[in-house]
A and B are shown apart, each in its own frame.
Chain A
């Protein structure tokens, strides 16, 4: 669906991302792992063209991303970014409805179906009673769920999630991943998720992309990528690997 071919991104003279290549298939969830400053957020921003690519090419369903309009890109790709505070009193429902922007005309008001979609995705994210609350009254975790609800409400079939679970309690982390996985398995969507939780990545991701110093170090199924050698070289910390006794997936424990 989405394919990056040797893309490089520069901030001034500095190369933040260096010839990264990978493809995202239908129904797939990719976890993007790597230390702070590895270029994870930069990569995600390039994938919906909110950052320009210096070299290389990104294709969305075979079409060059550079040739698509913002509207066309937003119809296909939804983003859950790290949070953003607004100075104006915006209600939760208004916030989620802003995700329906590309489906309306310029003067357009939302249709009944837009409002129904927004309410359904609030309900999915366990936020039904929050519809009329103001965004700046919510806790960090609640806001993060609203941001996910907005991304789901867009109807886009590619989700780019930048640390979506950073402020969430255990139950809501599970809810978030169940929702993303449902989208991918049942509706043919696919997702790229940045996370620092290696065990979560091992549990839910089909593939893991390990980024370090702006390069894709290695990519593949979690069990192949999450090795003692890879992790200790990228994160510069000793780890213990074993098997999760319930799911059988690889389990990482940092040795501090």
Chain B
């Protein structure tokens, strides 16, 4: 693992949203903030797929949007090839970053402009980032990209409007659009959640294929652990804005350390486990984290909760190399009182 291999490095990322200024007419009270993301650290290497797994409210989509630069972060650093990109100044710097990190959205129906052709969607980034000059070259590139994502014959598809394509096809167009700028990283925000089950594998296989062929890296955001295991090299589990576990995907599935990961794994319907009926004790729901108290956010639902869990937020420990957990159960002896 070379340090130069790291493409995206995220350190201590936090994002708080102000809900109300607090007090009367915004004065005199304590401001209320949602701690959507707090202290998240990870790195993405070249030709690697990193899965951010979590349920709703875990902060996974927010992390993607922070990296994409859709909103400013509250604390922490995002480094792309060592350069700080969390505060970009100037249009040129912003454009350059956009040509390096792109995003694919969850909803295939809302991702495309209903009154524009497919060609338009893909031509615009090509034109803005000057990847090809002249109508003919641009058209050729559009067709090439459509072929890459498996939409053929490209001439026909390019002339169509979004409503004439199926969900899976639209999602492929979104990928083609993202690929138009030849990015190094694609942030895929639940790219297959809204697609039919039988179509999902095609898209996931395509993503993995692009990783193998072009050395593309992905941040794959999902709530589906099974698909994370399928294509992701590394898996990060998020709970209520905190990173609670991070390791190689297989490791997380086979040897989950954090009680939340264990709960998640036990709740997923798994056909390969046969027809064994699992009974899962799942108390409570994910808290909305407004001005949270110190302590582990999972404490109220954890079967192994201890006193210290409610008093102070656990640090991230590494009980095994390459496997990080935010849980006092794995704190080195002497740290937990």
Bound pair (A, B): no
Q: Contact residues of B with A, CB < 8 Å?
A: none
